[in-house]
Structure formats: C-alpha cells, structure tokens
Amino acid sequence: MLSLHKLIVLSILLWLIWIVFRVFERRKAQATVRAQQNQHSDQAHKNAGSSGSDSDMDMVECTQCKAFVPESGCDRENCPVRG
C-alpha cells in the first residue's frame, strides 16, 4: 500500500510539474508573439515616418541612363531626362 501511495504522490507531482511547464511555455510563446508584434509595429512606424524622405524612397530604373534613381525623377547630371 505504501508503494501505491508513493505512486499517487509521484503522479500528482508530475502533473503539477507538467502544469507549471505548460504555463511557462504559454508565457514564453506570448512573450515571443508580443515581441514580434512590437517589431512589426516598430517597422511600420519607421516606414510611415520615413516615407517621403530619401532613405526609403522607391527606386526606379531610369529609361535613359539605366541608373536606379528616385521615383520622382532622374537627377543625374548627364541624363537626357533631367530638366
């Protein structure tokens, strides 16, 4: 009967450990999701903030000088498109 009692205690202990493990795993997953969401919102914020500035401007290939220039227009000195 003592061994049965030990088995019950052991199973309860294992069950408790499993519950704690699951809680930790869920918290870790939530933290990861939250970190990823923060990263995404940061990137969206950065993109929104820098739109219009020259750092993240869309580059297009100039039809005349084949150089990659801002979408607003080619500004190379020796380009026929310029001016």
If one counts every other C-beta atom within 10 angstroms of the C-beta of residue 74, the result is 20
Q: Do 43 and 30 form a contact (C-beta atoms < 8 A)? A: no
Stretch of 5-13, 20-28, 52-60, 74-82 lying at the interface with Zn ion (CB under 5 A): 74-82
Amino acid at 6: K
**Residue 53 or 78: which CB sits closer to Zn ion?**
78
Residue selected from 11, 35, 54, 74 as contacting Zn ion according to rule CB under 5 A = 74
Q: Decide: is 79 part of the binding site for Zn ion (CB under 5 A).
A: yes
CB of 55 to Zn ion, least distance (A): 21
Categorise residue 37: left if φ over 0, alpha if ψ from -120 to 50, beta otherwise: alpha
Quote the CA–CA distance of 82 and 70 in Å, as a whole number: 12
Binding flags for Zn ion, 49-68, as an x/- string (CB under 5 A)? -------------x-xx---
Footprint of Zn ion on this chain (CB under 5 A)?
Answer: 62, 64-65, 74, 76, 79, 81
